[in-house]
Chains A and B, each alone.
Chain A
Amino acid sequence: MHDTHAALLVAVMALVTVLLRFLPFIIFNGKREVPGYIMYLGKVLPYAIMGMLIVYCLRNVRFSAAADWLPSAVGVAVVVLLHLLKRNTLLSILGGTIVYMALVQFVFV
């Protein structure tokens, strides 16, 4: 049952993604004009969705004790600082993750 549900979710993700990738070629094949509203959403959604995904990742953070939220706060700060300073995507991701892992494994155990 567990595996069936997982396979279903993978199929849904694959299907929706492939649909989004093919849709423009099917609908707007040079003949029809793309509606302005759709163009507008496509321009602004990526920025908004990234903010949403950050909140999604941090949705289970609680504020009752320092150990609950401090590692995440420090991790996010490290990622932001590293990226502002070096602007190297891989460095920012690896640096933040290593600091977070060190904090939850050695400091806030």
Chain B
Amino acid sequence: MGYMDRKHLIRKALIKSIPVMAAYVVLGTGFGILMSDKGYGPVWSILCSLLIYAGSMQYVGVDLLVTAASPLSTALMTLMVNARHLFYGISMIGRYKNMGRIKPYLIFALTDETYSLLCNEQPFASDEDAQLYYFFVSLFDQSYWVLGTALGALIGSVLSFNSAGIDFSMTALFVTVFVEQWLTAKDHRPALTGLGASVVCLLLFDSSSFLIPAMLLITVLLSVPYAKRGGKDA
């Protein structure tokens, strides 16, 4: 591959990743501020963005850290919140087949946004081209996320503003995703099942212990229609 091809592909990756930039910098900043507000400085928040690198989960994670949740409920929570990543992986198996040395990083960095950028990409002239392009899109996206986090940690430690209520950014994030999903989904039963089962469990148990029962109930309730159809997908 020539120098110009290489440069062209990296440029293409940068342009492709720009829509993710705004979202990741802003959400990453929010995460950094939230962490620093709870007493977890830049080392903690940046480490999270480097090692976990999963937006929604990191926001939930702030809460798990603050309440000193048990490792088991943390593992279950991560499993449920990030279960969707299994399916991103499944649909990328073909695309990531010949990715060589960088394949582990591509798999590690497959977030919602990176997946949405890469899942519809046209075939490349060669495996080397694809490797370079996929690698840089993934790397640019994570850079935005880590940079945003660092920025948030900095803002949180340098500026002293009244941060009361900043926790609501997590609620706002999930409500936004919920509404967005509602607008795009044809079947609203899964969304209503999630809301309903969680409210029921919150009323039956208390706010510190309802989560695991809620996750179990949701899984059972969602499995019923599948079992009724005799294992056939809708």
Residues of A participating in the B interface, judged by any CB pair closer than 8 Å: 2, 5-6, 8-10, 12-14, 16-18, 20-25, 28-30, 34, 36-60, 71-72, 75-76, 79-80, 83-84, 87, 89-90, 92-94, 96-97, 100-101, 103-105
Given A34-B90, A48-B197, A50-B181, 8 other A-B residues pairs in contact with their CB atoms under 8 A = A10-B61, A12-B75, A44-B190, A49-B83, A51-B194, A90-B23, A93-B172, A93-B173
- Render B1-38 as a binary contact track against A, CB cut-off 8 A, 1 for contact: 00000000000000000000011001100100000000
Name the distance in Å between A55's Cβ and chain B's nearest Cβ. 4
Does the CB pair B226–A51 fall under 8 Å?
no
Return A1 CB to nearest CB of chain B, in Å.
10
Bound Cα distance A97, B176 (Å) = 12
Report the minimal beta-carbon distance from B121 to chain A, rounded to whole angstroms: 18
Given the complex of chains A and B, what is the CA–CA distance between A14 and B151 in angstroms? Answer: 22
* Pairwise interchain contact B210-A13, C-beta atoms closer than 8 A: no
B22 CB, nearest partner CB in chain A, Å: 7
Q: Are A103 and B83 touching (Cβ within 8 A)?
A: no
Within 8 A of A (CB), among B178-226: 178-181, 183, 185, 188, 190-199, 202, 207, 210-211, 214-215, 218-219, 222-223, 226
User: B178: which of A21, A50, A93 is its contact (CB, 8 Å)?
Assistant: A50
| Smallest beta-carbon distance A61→chain B, Å | 9
A40 and B93: CB pair below 8 A?
A: no
CA distance A5 to B210 in the complex (A): 22
CA distance A49 to B11 in the complex (A): 37
Of the A-B pairs whose beta carbons lie under 8 Å apart in the complex, a sample of 22, sorted by A's number, is A13-B74, A17-B78, A21-B107, A24-B86, A45-B84, A45-B219, A48-B191, A48-B222, A52-B80, A52-B211, A52-B214, A54-B174, A54-B178, A76-B171, A79-B175, A83-B175, A93-B169, A93-B176, A97-B166, A101-B164, A101-B168, A105-B162
A20 to B191, CA, bound (A): 22
Which residues from chain A contact B96 at a C-beta distance below 8 Å?
Answer: 25
Complex CA distance for A84 and B176, rounded to whole angstroms: 9
B87-A9 in contact (CB<8A): no
Q: Are A25 and B85 in contact (CB under 8 A)?
A: no
Which of B64-72, B128-136, B152-160 is near enough to bind chain A? Answer: B64-72
Contact B83 A79 (CB under 8 A): no
Q: By the criterion CB–CB under 8 Å, are A25 and B172 in contact?
A: no
Known: A16-B79, A55-B195. A24 touches B89 (CB 8 A): yes
Any chain A CB within 8 A of the CB of B177? yes
**Of B107, B168, B174, B196, the contact of A50 (CB 8 Å cutoff):** B174
A22-B89, A79-B175, A105-B164 as given contacts; A9 in contact with B181, CB under 8 Å: no
A80 CB → nearest B CB, Å: 6
| A30 x B97 contact (CB < 8 A) | yes
B177 — which chain A residues lie within 8 A by C-beta? Answer: 50, 89
**Alpha-carbon distance A32/B139, docked complex (angstroms):** 30
What is the minimal beta-carbon distance from A38 to any residue of chain B, in angstroms?
7
A12 to B26, CA, bound (A): 25
CA distance A75 to B176 in the complex (A): 11
